[in-house]
Each structure stands twice: as structure tokens, then as C-alpha cells.
Chain A
């Protein structure tokens, strides 16, 4: 299938023998901004992780940027923000070092960083407003700042497909607005964006399409405005009683 940044067909993923994503079809066109919504345990995170090859699919097919996943090699065209609460590891690393590691798909073995790598790192740091913290240890930053480091690490590869798994958890409103501007400019440049979230906040206005997952199945796929009316009653009709199981999250329910 041409013209699609991400194409998932009949995808089933089982974790530990339990089906978590069930027969999902999803196509994200070039330049499209799609959000995958759903409550905790709805399978939204597993869906994108399987689409990127991070968890094996039980059955079904995935195409990334026009190539079947097993043959896909153009990883420099994919930016990924994993779901993390911290960007730190056991050894200190500076903000710049972590962001630079996002550039690896562009680098050959045993080569030094090229000038355009440095420029990309500077631009990514600037985009998330962390240029003045470049030399600081990521562990010393607040949770929201660390989240922005992870976003910069995904932007630095100059992706055609950007996958973000709950990137705004712990990010304050001014910086959610900043992120929304960054994503808007990437979206305008034709970057396909897949955003996993349970509430959208300021990103709401950018979304072309919303896909709502419930218990591993797609229960809604369409205009984000309709997601509230279509999916929410569905949720109430089959409420599973899990805490935080509100399909669309408070950001949606409270909308006028």
C-alpha cells in the first residue's frame, strides 16, 4: 500500500498468552495526525509497540513507510517517544548526550558526529526549549523536562513517522502548548504522527483522526469530534468497572 506511513492489517498481539490487541486494522496516511485513545489496559500502547516491532505480533501484518516490518530498514525515518517516567539510567548522562543518541540511525559505525548531526541536535533541543539545559544531567531535571528530552530524542532523527506514547504525562500546560506547536510544524511538513494518549489537552486541535481502543479492539475510527458521542455511550453501556477506565479521559468528557 503506497502513501501510507503506517499500515496495520488484522493485527493480533498476545502478551503472556493473553490477547491484548485483537484483529486491529489501522492505516495512517503520509502527513496524517492520528491519535490512539483508550483507557488503561485497552491495548493502545501494545498496538504501537507491535507496529514498531518491539513486541511480536501473534498474527497480522504491519507496513512501515511502505515496507513490510520484517524488511523495514529505514529506521532513521521513524521517531519514537516511549512511555517513560524518566529519561535517566544508572549513570549520569547529559541532556545533549541523550538527545544525540536519537541520531544513531543516521550514523555509521565508528564515525564521529557530522556537522549536520550537531545541527539536528541543536534544533531538537531548541524545539523543546531545553537548549540552556543541554549540559545538565537528565537526572537533575524535573519529570516534565525529562519527558521533553525524550521528545527531542525522537525529533532529532528528522522523522517521516513520529510515534509518541503518552508524551505529555507530567508536562505542564505551557510546555504542552509548546509541544503542540512543535507537532503542528512537523505535521505541516508532511510528517505522519501517531499519538497515544488518554487525554489530549492542547493537542486536541491538531488531530485529524481519532482511533479509540477498548479491550484490544477498535471501537471508533473517525473524526475526533465524533469520538465523544460515539464511543462514550459505548463505554457506559459496557462499563468494565476498572478504575480510570474512562475511554476518552477527562479532557474529552469536559468538552463543551
Chain B
């Protein structure tokens, strides 16, 4: 059983406050992703949970027990680092066995566990090699194996895939998801890539400047973003945010009359010759299966449209865009969802 609870957690380095009163609950077996732009404090939050930093205020509870004063080595968490942090002078086997040796586990038990983890991650052939003799993806798997072998309460991943090339990243994403399904462990995963967040998470925590903007299942965040920041962060390409006045001026119907800003995702905007919004196309990107149109509306504000299939629209054309009312998101003056 591994539940995590953060209550009004604060973290400051000297005068600078990084984390502002974060509250969070993670259930046993959940795959939670911390996502946000750089500097939002997601790695710091992860390190607070791991025990590598100590919170300035608030409570961190693992399985109901307060662990603020418990050292990292005693919390029963395992971390996979962005740069893998493999011990360069030890073989793969020793890297994975180190944690268990520190805990005084018997040698044959260690051997069995390491072999099992190695089999799971297809590292059997590489056990005697040193990290410098491995490829990036193999090192990544050793780092994961090192975490698995300890059977921790909580797995912590700190942007583990950012050092891999795109193709490897995609396959490793699937592997990690599979691992989660197989082990059923609680995992917290930090990334700046919202695609990773959307594809891997049971629950996403969106962070900005040390505050939680929204917590929820991926589709919940996609369909009902709590504010303009989440709306713009989740989903690619970004949601179009248009001042309500501009939309109304074109004749669109608003779901909420008092809205200050209207949001519509590029994939939901429909091309309609008599549509309320006039978009002057500046760039057309044809990917074959879909087309991405970059354009500008009144006041030179950017607007993007994603169309299925291929299009005849050209640069310089002005097209009309319909704003289906059921697809519109309304935000008030402060960017909060209405």
C-alpha cells in the first residue's frame, strides 16, 4: 500500500519561495504526472517527496505517516534520475544490487531479485557491463531496474526520457506504462512534455510557478481546463484564446455571456464560409493526414486551425471559421473557467 498526501507544502531556498502551499493526494497504484513549464517547481516537488530536499512548511505523508523528518534513505522510495545517475565504476549487476546490499539483504536473495528485474527489462545479457558500455536506452532501463529491484513504496521519475531521441522516447513511454500495469505500484512522473503526460497518466497535476493549477484525469483536463494556463498548456497545438469581444463582433454566440476570453481548440474550429470569425491565413502545413493552418484574426491575434486530411487553402486566403458553441470554453477576466 502506498498512498501519498501533501498538505500545504511550502519550499523556499533562502528568500525565494519555490513551492507555494501545495495540497495533493495520490492513491495507491496511481500513475500521477507532474507537468508544467520549466521552473514551475515540479522537480523540486518530486525531490521533496523523495526526501532530497526538506519542506519549509507543510506535511508530507507516506501511507498516512508524516515523513518530513525522515531521511531520503529511509523513506522507501526509489528515484529514476534524468541523467540516470548510474555508478560508473560498478557493473549493471552491482548498480542494481547496491540498494539491496545497503539494506543488508542476503546475497542469494539479491541475486534472485536482480535477475528478475533484469529479465523484466531485457537486461540479462548486460549484467556484467559497465554503464559507459551501454547505449542511452539501455542505461535508462538499468536506472529503472535499480528502482524496481528495491520494491519501493513509491516510484519517482524525474524527466527520465528527455535525454533520449524521439523514437526511443515513444517506445520507452510504452514500456514504462506496461511496467506500471505489471507492478501495480504507485508512480509519480515529472515531465515538461504534455504529450507524455496525456499518454501516460492516470492523473495529471499541472504546475505553474510553484502552484497547482489543476489536478485531474487527462481527458478531464483536455475537456474542461480550469483556467487559460491549463487550457493553453494541455493539447497540441495550443488552444486558441480569443477576446470575447472579437468573437461577438463577428457574430458568434457565446455559451456564457459574461465571458472575457473564449477558447477553442484548433481541431474543433470549423471552416464555414459564413462563419463569424474571419481568419487571414499566413502559413499552411500539410502533414498528409491532417493540415495545420496558421492565421491571424482581427487585431493581428494568432489563430490556428487543424483540418483532417489535405486542404486547398493557400497562404493569403481569408477563410471563415465557425465557433460551435458546445466546443467553446469561457474564461473570465482573470483567466478562470466560467
Instruction: Check if A and B associate.
Output: no
- A residues in contact (CB < 8 Å) with B: none
- B residues in contact (CB < 8 Å) with A: none
